[in-house]
């Protein structure tokens, strides 16, 4: 199986750089665009099959040129949750306008498009009252959720008006090798590992009773692959999570146990404006049924693999 020529936006970021590693053997060529606002050039593997372009997804001319060369588009570039709440204009430009540019250029200039994958987020559920939360709920409270959800709507528009083969994945707190603590978004696991390494306290915002649905990198990447190759994914929106809730205190305890740093102190700080979610657990039945996906990695297994990478590579 081959994907031919591929474009990955945000390829210098956590998921983008790991996706590139995964698909490299089955691609003819991978074009990577990233403005390096938070991503690292070194995160992209070096290969004669990869062309890196430092630039923004809001640069229409550049995107027109790039999409005309590919058959698959993986649109991952984003302004993250924290950056977005500090800089609404950047959020609007990158996440909403950038997403729109990607779709419009794909429609007008990508004559051979097989799939447009858009990685959306469980942040669109806000502080949901239903658990596990299904795809039909939403609650928009933060700029990041507003811009990411708006592009989901544009995906719908381009699918219905022009039959653009889009597929949307709502990811939930992905973690794993390659997630650098320097990037603040969804970095609680990377942050905890970094604190352990430096023998510093584990910082928790709020009382630590808030829960998250943590998804291991390999399971998340698998959904991106399935959405790219399975016909059934076209025009669909899928939750990607485990359906399991873990409190931040429990997570800290697990990390203390896995790393052997049992003396680590938990340091509680007041919540930040972005810390609005008390509970998170999302229902992935739809993707399980449609694309025969399963989350294979337990939190403990994923944490152990991440710690191994953290010790060896950071």
Ligand X SMILES: NC(=O)c1ccc[n+]([C@@H]2O[C@H](COP(=O)([O-])OP(=O)(O)OC[C@H]3O[C@@H](n4cnc5c(N)ncnc54)[C@H](O)[C@@H]3O)[C@@H](O)[C@H]2O)c1
Binding residue (CB under 6 A) for ligand X from 3, 7, 8, 13: 13
Write the DSSP string, 77-130: ----HHHHHH-HHHHIIIIIIHHHHHHHHHHHH-TT--EEEEEEEGGGG-S-SS
For residue 13, count other CB atoms closer than 10 A to its CB.
Answer: 28
Tell me the window of 12-20, 103-111, 150-158, 228-236 that interacts with ligand X (CB under 6 A): 12-20
Of the two residues 15 and 228, which places its CB atom closer to ligand X in the complex?
15
Binding mask 95-124 for ligand X (x = CB under 6 A): ---x--------------------x-x---
Binding mask 40-79 for ligand X (x = CB under 6 A): ----------------xxx-----------------xxxx
In Å, how far are 42, 134, 197, 208, 266 from 269, measured between CA atoms?
33, 31, 20, 10, 10
Of the two residues 215 and 259, which places its CB atom closer to ligand X in the complex?
215
Cβ at position 53, least distance to ligand X in Å: 9
Cα radius of gyration rounded to whole Å, the chain: 19
Of the two residues 3 and 221, which places its CB atom closer to ligand X in the complex?
221
Cβ at position 81, least distance to ligand X in Å: 8
Cβ at position 205, least distance to ligand X in Å: 17
Would you count residue 217 as binding ligand X (CB under 6 A)? Answer: no
Would you count residue 8 as binding ligand X (CB under 6 A)? Answer: no
Would you count residue 38 as binding ligand X (CB under 6 A)? Answer: yes
Helix spans in the chain (H): 14-23, 60-67, 81-86, 88-91, 98-109, 143-162, 188-198, 217-229, 248-259, 285-291, 299-313
Determine the 3-state secondary structure of 188 from DSSP. helix
Binding residue (CB under 6 A) for ligand X from 6, 16, 302, 303: 16
Please answer whether residues 162 and 111 qualify as being in contact, where contact means their C-beta atoms are separated by less than 8 angstroms: no
Please answer whether residues 56 and 78 qualify as being in contact, where contact means their C-beta atoms are separated by less than 8 angstroms: no
Would you count residue 147 as binding ligand X (CB under 6 A)? Answer: no
Would you count residue 91 as binding ligand X (CB under 6 A)? Answer: no
Cβ at position 265, least distance to ligand X in Å: 26
Residues 6+ apart with CB under 8 A from 45: 17, 20, 21, 24
Would you count residue 288 as binding ligand X (CB under 6 A)? Answer: no
In Å, how far are 1, 203, 237, 242, 261 from 258, measured between CA atoms?
38, 18, 35, 21, 8
Binding mask 150-189 for ligand X (x = CB under 6 A): ---------------------x-xx--------x-xx---
Give the binding site for ligand X (CB under 6 A).
9-10, 12-16, 33-39, 56-58, 76-80, 94, 98, 119, 121, 148, 171, 173-174, 183, 185-186
């Amino acid at each position: 199986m081959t994907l031919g020529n591929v474009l990955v936006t945000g390829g210098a970021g956590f998921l983008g750089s790991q996706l590139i590693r995964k698909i490299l053997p089955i691609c003819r060529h991978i074009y990577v665009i990233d403005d390096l606002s938070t991503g690292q050039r070194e995160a992209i593997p070096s290969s004669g099959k990869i062309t890196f372009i430092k630039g923004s997804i809001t640069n229409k001319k550049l995107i027109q040129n790039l999409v005309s060369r590919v058959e698959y588009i993986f649109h991952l570039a984003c302004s993250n949750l924290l950056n977005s709440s500090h800089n609404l204009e950047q959020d609007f430009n990158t996440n909403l306008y950038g997403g729109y540019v990607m779709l419009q250029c794909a429609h007008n200039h990508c004559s051979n498009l097989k799939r447009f994958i858009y990685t959306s987020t469980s942040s669109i559920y806000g502080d949901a009252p239903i658990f596990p939360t299904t795809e039909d709920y939403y609650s928009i409270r933060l700029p990041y959720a507003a811009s990411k959800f708006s592009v989901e709507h544009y995906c719908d528009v381009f699918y219905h008006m022009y039959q653009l083969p889009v597929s949307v994945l709502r990811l939930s707190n992905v973690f794993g090798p390659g997630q650098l603590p320097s990037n603040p978004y969804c970095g609680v696991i990377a942050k905890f590992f970094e604190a352990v390494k430096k023998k510093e306290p584990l910082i928790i915002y709020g009382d630590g009773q808030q829960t998250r649905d943590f998804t291991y990198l390999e399971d998340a990447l698998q959904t991106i692959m399935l959405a790219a190759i399975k016909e059934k994914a076209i025009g669909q929106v899928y939750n990607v999570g485990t359906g399991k809730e873990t409190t931040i205190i429990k997570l800290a305890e697990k990390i203390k146990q896995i790393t052997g740093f049992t003396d680590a102190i938990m340091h509680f700080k007041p919540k930040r404006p972005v810390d609005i979610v008390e509970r998170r657990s999302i229902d992935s039945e739809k993707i399980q049924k449609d694309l025969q996906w399963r989350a294979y990695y337990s939190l403990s297994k994923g944490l152990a693999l991440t710690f191994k990478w953290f010790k060896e590579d950071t």
